[in-house]
Amino acid sequence: MKTMYELIVYPIACEGGDTEWGAKYLDFSGVVGGGDTPEEAVKEARENLAVMIDYYKKKGRELPKPKTDYNSKFFVRVSERLHKDITIFAEREGVGLNQLVNDALNLYVGIKN
């Protein structure tokens, strides 16, 4: 199913050191998926989204509108020490600070661009 709804995938730490995966649609509250792999979580979330869209249509409800006002900017305050550390790390990696933070956030939330 092709959709404009944003899907995020994230790891879930389990007892014994295992990792499971979750996926959720940000604009469609309650539509989630899970699995042993990111792919399984995405597949289940997509299936659940299709069911929810069918339900909304049968009930004559308006579908949530996907958020479209992302401007790719946000501001974060960090400690001076962290700012120094990530600046040095970025220089060592040969990337700019923006790229380093973007890569780190993508890794953290489990999104693969």
pLDDT (tens digit per residue) in 48-104: 999 999 999 999 999 988 877 667 778 889 999 999 999 999 999 988 888 888 888
DSSP assignment string, 41-65 = HHHHHHHHHHHHHHHHHHHTPPPPP
CA 107, CA 85: separation in Å to the nearest integer?
18
What pLDDT score does 71 carry? 72
Domain of residue 18: give its range: 7-59
* 65, part of any domain: no
The pLDDT of 15-44, averaged and rounded, is 91
pLDDT in tens, 36-59: 999 999 999 999 999 999 999 999
Number of domains in the chain: 2
Whether the pLDDT of residue 18 is over 80: the answer is: yes
First-last CA distance in the chain:
19
52/85 same-domain check? no
What pLDDT, on the 0 to 100 scale, is given for residue 111?
Answer: 56
The phi, psi pair for 32, rounded to 5°, reads -135, 170
Q: Please, which residues have CB within 8 angstroms of residue 52's CB and are 6 or more apart in sequence?
A: 28, 30, 31
* pTM greater than 0.85: no
Looking at the structure, do residues 46 and 20 belong to the same domain, yes or no?
A: yes
Is 70 exceeded by the pLDDT of residue 112?
A: no
Whether 11 and 51 map to the same domain: the answer is yes
State the Cα–Cα distance between residues 74 and 90, nearest whole angstrom.
19
* Contact by Cβ (8 Å): 83, 91: no
